Structure 1
Amino acid sequence: MDRVNALILSMAGSNVELIPEIADHLISSGGKRLRPMLTIASALAFGYEGDGHVRLAASVEFLHTATLLHDDVVDESDLRRGRKTARTIWGNQASVLVGDYLLGQAFKMMVEVGSMRALAILSNASAVIAEGEVWQLSAAKQMTTSEADYTAVIEAKTAALFAAAAEVGPVIAGAGDAAEKAMAAYGLNLGLAFQLVDDVLDYGGSASSLGKNVGDDFREGKITLPVILAYAAGTEDERAFWRGAMEEGRNDDAALARARQLIERHGALEATKDRARRYGQAASAALDGVPASRSREALLAVVDFCIERIN
């Protein structure tokens, strides 16, 4: 991971001064680096001995970072990982363009690895992520969103990159189809668990644990699983409140307090936690056929780390 971090900083460089300034603001802001770590660990778990995993891991982080830069513009977010977002400091245009630059650098590193299969997996994930973000945008502020719809959205916008990051490890290690499928399943389930944990923290956590303002999803009209479950279980008066808050923008601090009360009343946070834990268990189970090693233990530890944020 030290090599990955050094490569990330190197590839974020440019003669255009604003590019490394904005990139470094987000890259060095204390991100967990979970996704590139999955690539490193999954490659080593299957005996990989080259250095392609370092480039692919850096590519994965650049894909993720570019998505964050773009997301903050779309969501008009002011805080990311406890710091001002790039858009609030440098503006929307610079944030979008630097995100585009990082995407280009990500694909450059993928090509340098020389694995068409890995390139196909990561480029497909990039397209799926964008598709998921557009899908979420179209579903925003729509209380008709079902749990199945929402699961499909987060599978695309969040879990797809986790899955790709884990899958490319056995690909470059030449570990075979079964290993690739196992690691893709691990990453997909981990990504779903990770997003549901974030959903819980937005209503039941703190800004320090979440890395952004608590209640941001509510204020932005994002329909997440706790809201979907509370709405489904609510009275007609409660449903009218949710429609007013999410669809019509009546989402001040008093509304947020009532939203948290309703979510608690109907056990929506606990239900979301239960689903997150089940996805975490599925992620761990996907590693059953992976040979015992420090890397396998690291992959299991990531699942524990993710779930422990809500315990």
Structure 2
Amino acid sequence: MSATVHRLAGSEPSLDPMIDLVTDDMTLVNVAIRDRMQSEIPLIPELAGHLIAGGGKRMRPMLTLASARLLGYSGSRHHGLAAAVEFIHTATLLHDDVVDGSDMRRGKRTANLIWGNPASVLVGDFLFSRSFELMVEAGSLKALKILSNASAVIAEGEVNQLTAARRVDLGEDRYLEIIDAKTAALFAAACRIAAVVAERPEAEEAALDAYGRNLGIAFQLVDDAIDYTSDAGTMGKDAGDDFREGKMTLPMILAYARGNEEERQFWKDAVEGRRDSDADFAHAVDLVRATRAVDDTIARARHYGQRAIEAIAPFAGGPAKDAMIEAVEFAVARVY
């Protein structure tokens, strides 16, 4: 076991070790991504390329590659699967921005704002189709089952979130159920498929699944906290987007539960779309700070981050394990 120090409360962790670890593999994945987003219909690569080349860190496919390195896998079947993971993620982003009516993504105008909702939905469908082609070509029925199941779970999570929209009575349990499906499921699958193609025991599959799932939950919790603490330059979207869209994320859930009658009425009005001005958002920020809702959201992210690190404790130490641990630390530290 590695003696790596877990710096979840420490200083400035980075994704650079993971990026460096998988650079060569990621070059091949990027080739697959560029090849499969091509089409004789010019709008498809134009719209897909807007998002795929839009500055995302490609964390999910990197997790597939890093997990393969952790296992000592020396084959190439994981390259296509990592590309499939990125296509699934990109397709869900295209669909999400349509559902949410978003106009910013990673600091750029969203595809739906530029090309319209119908084009964004249809190109998202195209990318889903490409992802399934890549899964089949990997030649693993088990990997296909894991990723196709993750795709279904993500869609269920999105529908669950849609039906919970603008409901101030959304509790913490249902919120965690939603983010486990819409965010953590793909993180988990991205890691698990590496053990499948490496033909490792079920216990190692489960360990990587747990690492990815807990990292995904921590990642989303921090995203939700950042909505009340950051700006477009840091996050790639405007601060307060979740607030203005009436999304009951954990900071709002906690602040509502801890508020007095007047404060709870404010949150109810906000969720129902009656309080969405800049002044309202400033008041919301004051309330989540006063009730320690953001602090406790970050504390929960640390908890899930530590669970992710513990999940890979049985694996041998080395650059891959260290990079995966630091990736967790980076995910949690983004809020600062």
Give, in whole Å, the separation in 1 of the partners of 2:265 and 2:333. 34
Give, in whole Å, the separation in 1 of the partners of 2:72 and 2:334. 31
Query: How far has the Cα of 1:48 moved from its partner?
Result: 1.4
- The answer to whether residue 238 in structure 2 is matched with residue 224 in structure 1 is no
Structure 2 unaligned regions, length at least 5: 1-25
Paired residue secondary structure (2:189) = helix
Structure 1 match to 2:189: 164
Structure 1 match to 2:307: 282
Q: Quick one: which amino acid aligns to residue 327 of structure 2?
A: V
4+ runs deviating over 4 angstroms: none
CA RMSD of aligned residues (A): 0.8
Alignment match of 1:75 (pick from 100, 109, 118): 100
- Under a length normalisation based on structure 1, what TM-score does the superposition of the two structures give? 0.99
Structure 1 match to 2:52: 27
Deviations 1:217-254 (A, max 9, x none): 01111110000000000001100111111124321111
Paired residue secondary structure (2:119) = helix
Q: Quick one: which amino acid aligns to residue 214 of structure 1?
A: A
Structure 1 match to 2:229: 204
- The answer to whether residue 213 in structure 2 is matched with residue 188 in structure 1 is yes
Q: Structure with the greater relative contact order (CA < 8 A, sep ≥ 6): 1 or 2?
A: 2
Paired residue secondary structure (1:47) = coil
Residues 106-185 of structure 1 aligned to structure 2 (within 5 Å): 106-185=131-210
Structure 2 match to 1:235: 260
Give, in whole Å, the separation in 1 of the partners of 2:146 and 2:284. 39
Number of matched residues?
311
Give, in whole Å, the separation in 2 of the partners of 1:297 and 1:15. 43
Q: Is the 8 A contact 1:189 1:279 kept in 2?
A: yes
Query: How far has the Cα of 1:7 moved from its partner?
Result: 1.1
Residues 79-94 of structure 1 aligned to structure 2 (within 5 Å): 79-94=104-119
Alignment match of 1:15 (pick from 18, 40, 57): 40
Q: Is the 8 A contact 1:219 1:249 kept in 2?
A: no
Paired residue secondary structure (1:9) = helix
Query: How far has the Cα of 1:44 moved from its partner?
Result: 2.0
Give, in whole Å, the separation in 1 of the partners of 2:171 and 2:192. 29
Q: Quick one: which amino acid aligns to residue 213 of structure 2?
A: L
Give, in whole Å, the separation in 1 of the partners of 2:196 and 2:317. 19
Q: Is the 8 A contact 2:222 2:334 kept in 1?
A: yes
Q: Quick one: which amino acid aligns to residue 87 of structure 1?
A: N
Q: Is the 8 A contact 1:221 1:249 kept in 2?
A: no
Query: Which shifted more, 67-76 or 301-310?
Result: 301-310
Paired residue secondary structure (1:223) = coil
Give, in whole Å, the separation in 2 of the partners of 1:262 and 1:109. 47
Q: Quick one: which amino acid aligns to residue 112 of structure 1?
A: E
Q: Is the 8 A contact 1:39 1:53 kept in 2?
A: yes
Q: Quick one: which amino acid aligns to residue 93 of structure 1?
A: P
Give, in whole Å, the separation in 2 of the partners of 1:276 and 1:82. 24
Paired residue secondary structure (1:185) = helix
Structure 2 match to 1:303: 328
Q: Quick one: which amino acid aligns to residue 97 of structure 2?
A: D
Identity rate, percent = 55
Structure that is richer in helix per residue? 1
Structure 1 match to 2:76: 51
Give, in whole Å, the separation in 1 of the partners of 2:273 and 2:129. 38
Give, in whole Å, the separation in 2 of the partners of 1:92 and 1:80. 15
Paired residue secondary structure (1:203) = coil
Query: How far has the Cα of 1:310 moved from its partner?
Result: 1.8
Query: How far has the Cα of 1:195 moved from its partner?
Result: 0.1
Give, in whole Å, the separation in 2 of the partners of 1:286 and 1:270. 24
- Under a length normalisation based on structure 2, what TM-score does the superposition of the two structures give? 0.91
Query: How far has the Cα of 1:297 moved from its partner?
Result: 1.9
Give, in whole Å, the separation in 2 of the partners of 1:249 and 1:286. 44
Query: Which shifted more, 6-15 or 105-114?
Result: 6-15
Give, in whole Å, the separation in 1 of the partners of 2:331 and 2:191. 16
Give, in whole Å, the separation in 2 of the partners of 1:25 and 1:249. 34
